[in-house]
């Protein structure tokens, strides 16, 4: 690392980094819970590592956001992103086979819920790896980074909210995405 880049990486985290840490903490918890939910799934050997690696990749960003510029972290995130993206293409095929061309809520199908999980991982890894959110930035990028931060906050809370609705009263019997959870 050159001296200017090293100074930029070691400077004190801004308020945006605090939000980024909280986002990664929440996503890490979500990914870990998703991995644990898949313990009893027939294809647990696929989904536990997918969610487990995602949770593990959140940890360095919670502990020290500056690690996001590390070559090792960036390489692992890029590999994980690529593998999830490739599997998402396959999941689209499975989802279309499952709904058989009918107009259905895709979250009622296991393949649809799996695809939703992959989309969350792909969105998070692409923001974490390919943008400057949570990384040292210059003032000129501030508006774009604020917009991406807002998108990331939204992507963090939507799955947690929809998942938590399954635990409200008897809603799990009425909401399609809750089928098969209990």
CB-CB neighbours of 29 under 10 Å: 14
Which band of pLDDT confidence, cut at 50, 70 and 90, is reported for residue 5?
A: very low
pLDDT digits (tens, 9 = 90+) for 109-153: 777 788 888 999 999 998 888 777 766 655 446 656 666 676 777
Q: pLDDT band at 12, cuts 50/70/90?
A: low
Written as one string, the DSSP assignment of 72-136 is HHHHHHHHHHHHHHHHHHHHHHHHHHHHTT----GGGSHHHHHHHHHHHHHHHHHHHHHS-TTS-
Euclidean distance between CA atoms 129 and 95, whole angstroms: 27
- Angle 3-5-7 (CA atoms, 0-180°, nearest 5)? 70
pLDDT at residue number 2: 42
Q: Model-level pTM?
A: 0.67
pLDDT in tens, 49-99: 999 999 999 999 999 888 888 889 988 998 999 899 888 888 877 777 776
Q: Which of 147, 9, 127, 5 is nearest to 57 (CA)?
A: 127
């Amino acid at each position: 690392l050159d001296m200017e880049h090293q100074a930029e990486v070691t400077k004190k985290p801004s308020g945006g980094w605090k939000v980024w840490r909280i986002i990664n903490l929440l996503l890490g918890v979500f990914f870990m819970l998703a991995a644990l939910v898949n313990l009893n799934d027939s294809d647990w050997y696929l989904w536990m590592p997918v969610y487990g690696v995602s949770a593990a990749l959140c940890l360095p960003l919670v502990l020290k956001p500056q690690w996001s510029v590390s070559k090792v972290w960036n390489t692992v995130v890029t590999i994980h992103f690529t593998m999830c993206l490739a599997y998402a293409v396959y999941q689209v095929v499975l989802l279309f086979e499952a709904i058989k061309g009918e107009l259905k809520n895709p979250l009622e199908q296991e393949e649809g819920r799996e695809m939703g999980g992959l989309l969350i991982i792909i969105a998070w890894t692409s923001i974490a790896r390919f943008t400057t959110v949570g990384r040292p930035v210059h003032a000129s990028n501030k508006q774009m980074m604020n917009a991406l931060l807002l998108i990331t906050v939204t992507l963090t809370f939507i799955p947690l909210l929809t998942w938590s609705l399954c635990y409200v009263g008897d809603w799990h019997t009425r909401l399609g995405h809750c089928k098969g959870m209990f």
